[in-house]
């Protein structure tokens, strides 16, 4: 999270624009780690946690516009101390339910008092509109234990389509606003 905030501040300084609206982070609970290992059929050991759990720590990066997502992916990928292990581009390939986001599993060094521990972290990058949609979808998923009523599932899928359309329209409007600003600078 701190690294992303620094990158965002630097980007704002260099380009007079900050691609990140806000950053959220979380640590997976012991119970959640245990459930995930059991679901994967693995014994509950520290070694298995390190080997099979990619999202002990998670960071969610919220942007205004879709191109910002790819800018941030590039910024993260170019860092010497971050190793990108996996990527999932749900922007280009949305899930069946309409979910859009960009996921990275990275390994970062965590500095302890006596050693450095390489740790896997999941980074999810999405727009404000996608985050709004995903929050509601997440609530439904847990409320109905993954099996929500068909009419709600259908409505959420339709809303995902609206969100994608909204993101495109907002990006186009922003591009027009930026052009206008550049034209008025020349006057």
Burial (Cβ within 10 Å: 0-12, 13-18, ≥19) of residue 80: exposed
From the list 122, 145, 165, 172, the catalytic residue is: 122
- Pairing, β 102-111 against β 83-89: antiparallel
Give CA–CA dist 136/23, Å, rounded.
Answer: 18
Could you report the average pLDDT of every consecutive run of 10 residues in the chain (187 residues)? 83 81 91 92 90 91 94 93 96 94 94 90 96 90 77 92 96 89 57
For the chain, the C-alpha Rg in angstroms (whole number) is 19
Active site residue 122: yes
CA-based nearest residue to 122, from 145, 93, 101, 136? 101
38 Cβ contact list (under 8 Å, min separation 6):
44
pTM of this prediction?
0.87
């Amino acid at each position: 999270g701190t690294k992303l905030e620094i990158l965002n501040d630097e980007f704002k300084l260099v380009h007079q624009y900050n691609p990140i609206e806000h950053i959220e982070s979380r640590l997976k609970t012991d119970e959640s780690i245990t459930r995930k290992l059991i679901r994967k059929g693995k014994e509950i050991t520290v070694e298995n946690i390190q080997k099979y759990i990619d999202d002990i720590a998670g960071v969610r990066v919220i942007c205004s516009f879709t191109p910002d997502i790819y800018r941030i992916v590039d910024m993260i990928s170019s860092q010497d101390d971050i190793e990108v292990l996996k990527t999932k581009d749900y922007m280009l390939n949305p899930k069946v339910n309409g979910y859009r986001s960009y996921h990275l599993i990275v390994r970062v060094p965590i500095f302890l008092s006596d050693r450095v521990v390489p740790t896997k972290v999941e980074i999810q990058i999405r727009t404000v509109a996608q985050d709004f949609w995903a929050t509601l979808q997440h609530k439904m998923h847990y409320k109905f234990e993954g099996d929500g009523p068909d009419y709600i599932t259908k409505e959420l899928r339709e809303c995902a389509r609206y969100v994608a359309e909204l993101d495109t329209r907002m990006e186009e409007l922003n591009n027009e606003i930026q052009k206008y600003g550049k034209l008025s600078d020349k006057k």
